[in-house]
Structure 1
Amino acid sequence: MEDFIKYTSSHSGKHEGKQHIIIVGAGIVGVCIAYYITRHPSFDPDQHYVTIIESKRVAGGASGKAGGLLALWAFPQQIVPLSFQLHSELAEEYSGEDLWDYRRLTTVSLEGDIQKSLKDTEEDEDDDYDDEEGEEDEEEEEGVLEDDEDEEEFQEAEYFHDDENNSYSDDAMSRSSKESICDNRSTNTDLSSHNGELEHHHINEHRTQSAISPQSTGSATSSVEEKATKKKRRTVSKNSIMQNEHDASNGVKLPTDLNWIKQSAIQDWSMLGGEDTTAQVHPYKFTNFILKKAIESGSVELIIGKVNEIIFSETTGEAEGVSYIPSTAQDEQSGNTEPIELLADQVVLSVGPWTSKILPDCPISGLRAHSITVLPENGVMVSPYAIFTELKISKSGFVSPEVYARKDEVYVCGEGDTAVDVPETTDDVQVVKEKCDRLFHFVGKLSPNLRKGRILKRQACYLPVLDVPSSSGPLIGETNVPRLYLASGHSCWGINNAPGTGKVMAELLLDGEASSADISALDPSLYFDASVWGE
Structure 2
Amino acid sequence: MGDIGQDAKNIVIIGGGIIGVSTAYWLTQHRLYDPSIHIITILEATEIAGGSSGKAGGLLASWATPSCLAPLSFKLHTELAEKYKGTLCWGYRRVHCADVAFDIRSNTSTNESIDRFETLKWINGSGIKEFSEIGKPDDTAQVHPKSLTRYLLNLAQAKGVRVIIAPATSINYSSNREAVHSVEYSEHGTKRQIHATDTIIAASPWSSKLLPRIPVYGVRSHSI
TM (norm. structure 2) is: 0.89
Question: Is structure 2 residue 194 aligned with structure 1 residue 342?
Answer: yes
**CA shift digits 1:2-54 (9 cap, x unpaired):** xxxxxxxxxxxxxxx83111000110100000000000122122331201101
Does structure 2 retain, via aligned residues, the 8 Å contact 1:104–1:276? Answer: yes
Selected match of 2:182 from 313, 321, 326? 321
Instruction: Please show how residues 92-111 of structure 1 align to structure 2 within 5 Å.
Output: 92-111=82-101
CA distance in structure 2 between the aligned counterparts of 1:269 and 1:59, rounded to whole angstroms: 33
Does structure 2 retain, via aligned residues, the 8 Å contact 1:112–1:265? Answer: yes
Selected match of 1:295 from 126, 137, 157? 157
Q: Please state how far the C-alpha of 1:79 moved relative to its aligned partner.
A: 2.1
1:77 aligned residue: 67
1:281 aligned residue: 143
1:252 aligned residue: 112
CA distance in structure 1 between the aligned counterparts of 2:192 and 2:109, rounded to whole angstroms: 67
Change (3 A) 1:284 1:320: same
User: Percent identical across equivalent pairs?
Assistant: 40
CA distance in structure 2 between the aligned counterparts of 1:86 and 1:348, rounded to whole angstroms: 21
Does structure 1 retain, via aligned residues, the 8 Å contact 2:172–2:184? Answer: yes
Residue correspondences, number: 216
Which residue identity is paired with 1:273?
G
CA distance in structure 2 between the aligned counterparts of 1:343 and 1:308, rounded to whole angstroms: 14
**CA shift digits 1:346-389 (9 cap, x unpaired):** 000000000111112222122456x7xxxxxxxxxxxxxxxxxx
Q: Please state how far the C-alpha of 1:250 moved relative to its aligned partner.
A: 4.1
Change (3 A) 1:22 1:267: same
CA distance in structure 1 between the aligned counterparts of 2:109 and 2:14, rounded to whole angstroms: 55
Q: Please state how far the C-alpha of 1:249 moved relative to its aligned partner.
A: 6.5
CA distance in structure 1 between the aligned counterparts of 2:47 and 2:109, rounded to whole angstroms: 50
CA distance in structure 2 between the aligned counterparts of 1:251 and 1:33, rounded to whole angstroms: 44
* Aligned-partner SS, 2:53: coil
CA distance in structure 1 between the aligned counterparts of 2:131 and 2:106, rounded to whole angstroms: 19
Question: Is structure 2 residue 106 aligned with structure 1 residue 112?
Answer: no
* Aligned-partner SS, 2:82: helix
**CA shift digits 1:450-503 (9 cap, x unpaired):** xxxxxxxxxxxxxxxxxxxxxxxxxxxxxxxxxxxxxxxxxxxxxxxxxxxxxx
Does structure 1 retain, via aligned residues, the 8 Å contact 2:12–2:42? Answer: yes
Instruction: Please show how residues 150-299 of structure 1 align to structure 2 within 5 Å.
Output: 250=110, 252-254=112-114, 255-257=116-118, 258-298=120-160
Change (3 A) 1:363 1:249: closer
CA distance in structure 2 between the aligned counterparts of 1:50 and 1:250, rounded to whole angstroms: 56
CA distance in structure 1 between the aligned counterparts of 2:192 and 2:56, rounded to whole angstroms: 32
1:459 aligned residue: none
CA distance in structure 2 between the aligned counterparts of 1:37 and 1:94, rounded to whole angstroms: 17
**CA shift digits 1:259-309 (9 cap, x unpaired):** 2223232233212111111000000111111001000012x1001111111
CA distance in structure 2 between the aligned counterparts of 1:23 and 1:109, rounded to whole angstroms: 37
Question: Is structure 2 residue 61 aligned with structure 1 residue 42?
Answer: no
* C-alpha RMSD of matched pairs (Å): 1.9
2:170 aligned residue: 309
CA distance in structure 2 between the aligned counterparts of 1:87 and 1:251, rounded to whole angstroms: 34
Question: Is structure 2 residue 217 aligned with structure 1 residue 357?
Answer: no
Q: Please state how far the C-alpha of 1:316 moved relative to its aligned partner.
A: 4.8
TM (norm. structure 1) is: 0.39
Does structure 2 retain, via aligned residues, the 8 Å contact 1:252–1:267? Answer: no
CA distance in structure 2 between the aligned counterparts of 1:90 and 1:116, rounded to whole angstroms: 44
**CA shift digits 1:66-87 (9 cap, x unpaired):** 1100011112223222211111
Does structure 2 retain, via aligned residues, the 8 Å contact 1:253–1:263? Answer: no
Change (3 A) 1:114 1:35: same
CA distance in structure 2 between the aligned counterparts of 1:340 and 1:286, rounded to whole angstroms: 30
Which consecutive unaligned segments of at least 5 residues does structure 1 have? 1-16, 118-247, 332-336, 372-401, 404-535
Which residue identity is paired with 2:43?
I
CA distance in structure 2 between the aligned counterparts of 1:39 and 1:251, rounded to whole angstroms: 49
Structure with the bigger percentage of strand: 2
**CA shift digits 1:118-163 (9 cap, x unpaired):** xxxxxxxxxxxxxxxxxxxxxxxxxxxxxxxxxxxxxxxxxxxxxx
CA distance in structure 2 between the aligned counterparts of 1:311 and 1:79, rounded to whole angstroms: 32
Runs in 1 of length 4+ with deviation above 6 angstroms? none
